[in-house]
Structure 1
Amino acid sequence: MRSLKLKELLGYGVGDAGQALMGTLIGFYQLYYFTDILRLPLPSVAGLFLLTKILDSASFPLFGILLDRIPGGIGAFLKWRLWLIVPSFLISVALFTFDRSWSTEVRIIYAYAVVSAFVVLTALISVVYTGLVSSIATQASDRARLSTIRFVFAFGASTLATFFIKYLVDYLGGKDGGGFQSVAFIFSIIAAATLYITASVTKNRAVAKAEGEVVQDVFGSALRILKNGTFLAPVISTFFTGLFVTFKSQLTLYFINYAMNREDIGNIMLAAGTISCAVGVALVGFVINKIDRKVLYIGLMASNAFFIGVIYFVNHANVFLIIVFHCLNSVLGGACAPVIFSIYSDVVDYLDEKLNFRAPALVNSVAMLAGRLGGSLGMVLTPIGLAYFQYHANQAQTGRGLLGIALMFTLIPAAFALLSALAMVRYTLTNKASEDISDRLAGEAR
């Protein structure tokens, strides 16, 4: 079957670039923004993340169920839901539109409102975007290429964001003068434009469901796939990956500013990490269809655990060695992303053949739910951990505080990465088996 055209590959990939800009701003700066700029109490921030992340996590399976019940599925849905772009843009800007003159109570209430709205809208967009892979491509090899190209764009955009965010914030008013709001405004415009491009150039190739063929027993079918070990293995793995990513990303600035005492190299180290992620994505593209994805993912994630964990034992004054290990960890972490998402695309076909249940939106939404649950737990545990180790914002830290920051940036995420690798042992599909299933399903469709 003919491979996808370059225009469609690039059109799909660019959609993740826009989302990655806002994701980078939030991932690296939201906790810092709330604690060190807005000066919200750590317990309030932990509660905010807990409640809004529960809402965020619940949104994914809900949208997955709804999308799979729509005739034509995700491919059709993306075309007539472009109106989501405008509210998503407005909420993204509102996320960094605060005034410190407001009372603490007002700031917390406002934060709950805008963060809740943001996570619901982005959950819907994420389910559509990720599930679109199964609508665009009918072959496992093409799905692997789509998963790779999206992360090339994503990490490329993240690289630019991590390097320029600090400069842009300073240039556009400073952290206390609306700089973050201006950056969010710019990034949101780009995100809206790239999402429109994706919707315009991609083609839905999945066989549309007729009105009477839409899955009715959604919850029963969902329970069946959750009992399937081949599907459950990457789900559990993704949960631990969410914990790993959240701990590492949320603690990066704290580790640089306090443990290393090198605030001057923050943007350089962040950019080096995201460049390394992009390199990892690019390199894994050469082997993602040649090495069994299960073996590849386990090897990458286990090595990932080693290189983040070893930083704990390096003298924090040794900037060069820390950056080297940070970059090696990021190369491996970046390489894992397209592998796991291509695995989920393979699982869609596997479940279609084995259980006669094709639900790309539900499968991908459960996958993202697992990552979000891990990320949600991480977002709650990181401020709790900082409080436990007696972190004090904008002050020199005690030995206990420095120990906590170092542990939460290195050994703790390393443990989560190792658990993510171990969880994939139960995954059973090989690359050849996935291609064979795709061929059989394509033959039946014809």
Structure 2
Amino acid sequence: MKALKLKELVSYGVGDAGQALIGTLIGFYQLYYFTDILRLPLGSIAGLFMLTKILDSASFPLFGLMLDRVSGGVGAFLKWRLWLVIPFFVVSVLLFTYDPNWSTEFRIIYAYAVVSLFVVLSALISVVYTSLVSSIATQASDRARLSTVRFVFAFGASTLATFFIKYLVDYLGGKTGGGFQSVAFIFSIMATGLLYITMSATRNRTVARPDEPPHGIGSAFAIVRNPMFLGPVVATFFAGLFVAFKSQMTLYFINYAMNREDIGNFMLAGGTISCAIGVGLVGFVINRINRKSLYVVLMALNALFVGAIYFVDRSNIYTIIAFHCLNSALGGACSPVIFSIYSDVVDYLDETLNFRAPALVNSVAMLAGRLGGSLGMVLTPVGLAISQYHPNQQQTSGSILGIALMFTLVPGLFAFISAMAMVTYKLTNRASEDISERLAGEAG
């Protein structure tokens, strides 16, 4: 079996770069935009994230089942995705569009409607994109390379985005003058072009067995109950919690706990650069070291360094930035490892359960991450409210303590639980390669 060519690896990776541009803008600035620009009540924001994420959670398994049932495999579904990119582009812009004359009630209704549309479209695109790994590559080592490449591009794009977003917002109209909307427009155009490159330059290499029955709810339950799948799913859920708390609270920690708004761009960019470095470095060992052990060690160290920030004096910015970059590199390195593990699980389930369901496996995996992220996005505004945070004001010692905890020890705890959850996963790299070779032999 021939290894994937560089052209196809790069073409797959640029798609995640496009999605990362929008994801970075939303991940770092959506909560801030809702509280300080759109000025939505904290309670309504918590409700917004909860209700829309319920919709998000329902979308992933349904789309996964639908995708695996489509005749012709993932390749046929890519035609559907052509019609999803433009609506995704429009809704991404609407997320950062508002009129200062709108009433509070209308702003809340508008936010609920637009975020709901966004999560559905995002789920559809994400399921197709992630499941492509198991369809583009037939070898476990190639799937690991694809997972590494996609995150190199994703974190590279995220690095550029975090560094330039603030400057672009200020240049294109300011926080309240349409700056965020203009940035969303530019990023959406770029994401659309990059996603089209992915769709046009990749192809499906695996097909379902001719006698394989259509996947249904029973297939989903069989996958979820499988002990080889449970460990990665739980790990992904808590990793999602970690990411949500860390990313949502970064600006608050910089602006209020450190009182150093001037270093915000550099700290954000440093974190994403470190993520990209971590992804690049782990690519050298992802096929040499047992992926389970690699994930456990990386995520445990991630928990250690993010928690350590709490005990550093706020004026010691160099140590804080160093620890922030270290945990970002470690956390970033975990991403291709866990997604390559899911690709291995697809083959494992194919051999043991006699049906191939890359979209269903990856959709449940993404559902776990989204549920963790959704819970984190609900809990962060609740935590701010409990801490008596008030936007654009001098904060009390209690609110600063709450912000510091939600940026350090709380996500550190979630990262540690994520590491421990992988203890139940038993599939080794050698076993994954053997399964891939047997399946390829049967297909041939």
For the aligned pair, the TM-score class normalised by the smaller chain equals over 0.9
User: Which amino acid is 2:337 matched to?
Assistant: V
Alignment of 1:260-271 (within 5 A): 260-271=258-269
By how many angstroms is 1:38 displaced? 1.2
What are structure 2's unaligned runs of at least 5 residues? none
Determine helix, strand or coil for the equivalent of 1:96.
coil
Determine helix, strand or coil for the equivalent of 2:165.
helix
Could you say which residue in structure 1 is the equivalent of 2:231?
233
Work out whether residues 75 and 136 of structure 1, in 8 Å CA contact, stay in contact via their aligned partners in 2. no
By how many angstroms is 1:78 displaced? 1.1
By how many angstroms is 1:213 displaced? 3.5
Task: Name whichever of 269-278 and 68-77 sits farther off.
Answer: 68-77
Alignment of 1:218-367 (within 5 A): 218-367=216-365
Determine helix, strand or coil for the equivalent of 2:54.
helix
Could you say which residue in structure 1 is the equivalent of 2:156?
156
Are residue 215 (structure 1) and residue 195 (structure 2) matched? no
Could you say which residue in structure 1 is the equivalent of 2:17?
17
Work out whether residues 97 and 181 of structure 2, in 8 Å CA contact, stay in contact via their aligned partners in 1. yes
Determine helix, strand or coil for the equivalent of 1:81.
helix
Work out whether residues 22 and 188 of structure 1, in 8 Å CA contact, stay in contact via their aligned partners in 2. yes
Are residue 378 (structure 1) and residue 407 (structure 2) matched? no
Distance 1:160 1:295 in 2: 31
Distance 1:206 1:75 in 2: 10
By how many angstroms is 1:168 displaced? 0.2
Could you say which residue in structure 1 is the equivalent of 2:419?
421
Distance 1:63 1:73 in 2: 14
Could you say which residue in structure 2 is the equivalent of 1:410?
408
User: Which amino acid is 1:73 matched to?
Assistant: G
Work out whether residues 55 and 116 of structure 1, in 8 Å CA contact, stay in contact via their aligned partners in 2. yes
Over aligned residues, Cα RMSD in angstroms? 0.9
Are residue 56 (structure 1) and residue 56 (structure 2) matched? yes
By how many angstroms is 1:34 displaced? 0.3
User: Which amino acid is 1:298 matched to?
Assistant: V
Determine helix, strand or coil for the equivalent of 1:324.
helix
Determine helix, strand or coil for the equivalent of 1:381.
helix
By how many angstroms is 1:71 displaced? 1.3
Distance 2:134 2:106 in 1: 43
User: Which amino acid is 2:295 matched to?
Assistant: Y
Distance 1:214 1:325 in 2: 51
Work out whether residues 73 and 209 of structure 1, in 8 Å CA contact, stay in contact via their aligned partners in 2. no
Could you say which residue in structure 2 is the equivalent of 1:202?
202
Are residue 167 (structure 1) and residue 167 (structure 2) matched? yes
User: Which amino acid is 2:336 matched to?
Assistant: P
What are structure 1's unaligned runs of at least 5 residues? none
Work out whether residues 155 and 275 of structure 1, in 8 Å CA contact, stay in contact via their aligned partners in 2. yes
Are residue 103 (structure 1) and residue 103 (structure 2) matched? yes
Distance 2:213 2:200 in 1: 25
Provide Cα deviations, 1:121-143, integer angstroms capped at 9, x if missing partner.
01000000000001100000000
Work out whether residues 81 and 125 of structure 2, in 8 Å CA contact, stay in contact via their aligned partners in 1. no
Work out whether residues 162 and 270 of structure 1, in 8 Å CA contact, stay in contact via their aligned partners in 2. yes
Work out whether residues 73 and 207 of structure 2, in 8 Å CA contact, stay in contact via their aligned partners in 1. no
Name the TM-score, length of structure 1 as normaliser.
Answer: 0.98
Distance 2:164 2:238 in 1: 30
Could you say which residue in structure 2 is the equivalent of 1:144?
144
Task: Name whichever of 161-170 and 199-208 sits farther off.
Answer: 199-208
Alignment of 1:35-184 (within 5 A): 35-184=35-184
User: Which amino acid is 1:42 matched to?
Assistant: L
By how many angstroms is 1:81 displaced? 2.7
User: Which amino acid is 1:401 matched to?
Assistant: S
Determine helix, strand or coil for the equivalent of 1:296.
helix
User: Which amino acid is 1:271 matched to?
Assistant: A
By how many angstroms is 1:76 displaced? 2.1
By how many angstroms is 1:226 displaced? 1.1
Work out whether residues 68 and 214 of structure 1, in 8 Å CA contact, stay in contact via their aligned partners in 2. no
By how many angstroms is 1:225 displaced? 1.4
Distance 1:232 1:163 in 2: 37
By how many angstroms is 1:209 displaced? 5.6
Over the matched positions of the two proteins, sequence identity in percent amounts to 78
Determine helix, strand or coil for the equivalent of 1:417.
helix
By how many angstroms is 1:73 displaced? 2.2
User: Which amino acid is 2:363 matched to?
Assistant: S
Could you say which residue in structure 2 is the equivalent of 1:6?
6
Distance 2:58 2:74 in 1: 19
By how many angstroms is 1:11 displaced? 0.2
Provide Cα deviations, 1:309-330, integer angstroms capped at 9, x if missing partner.
0000000111000000000000
Distance 2:255 2:355 in 1: 50
By how many angstroms is 1:75 displaced? 2.6
Distance 2:227 2:388 in 1: 42
Distance 2:419 2:81 in 1: 36
User: Which amino acid is 2:301 matched to?
Assistant: S
Distance 1:100 1:256 in 2: 27
By how many angstroms is 1:203 displaced? 1.3
Work out whether residues 55 and 116 of structure 2, in 8 Å CA contact, stay in contact via their aligned partners in 1. yes
Provide Cα deviations, 1:389-430, integer angstroms capped at 9, x if missing partner.
111111111010000000000000000000000000000100
By how many angstroms is 1:86 displaced? 0.9
Work out whether residues 247 and 413 of structure 1, in 8 Å CA contact, stay in contact via their aligned partners in 2. yes
Work out whether residues 76 and 204 of structure 1, in 8 Å CA contact, stay in contact via their aligned partners in 2. no
By how many angstroms is 1:282 displaced? 0.2
Determine helix, strand or coil for the equivalent of 2:96.
coil
Work out whether residues 59 and 120 of structure 1, in 8 Å CA contact, stay in contact via their aligned partners in 2. yes
Work out whether residues 15 and 198 of structure 1, in 8 Å CA contact, stay in contact via their aligned partners in 2. yes
Work out whether residues 22 and 188 of structure 2, in 8 Å CA contact, stay in contact via their aligned partners in 1. yes
Work out whether residues 208 and 356 of structure 2, in 8 Å CA contact, stay in contact via their aligned partners in 1. no
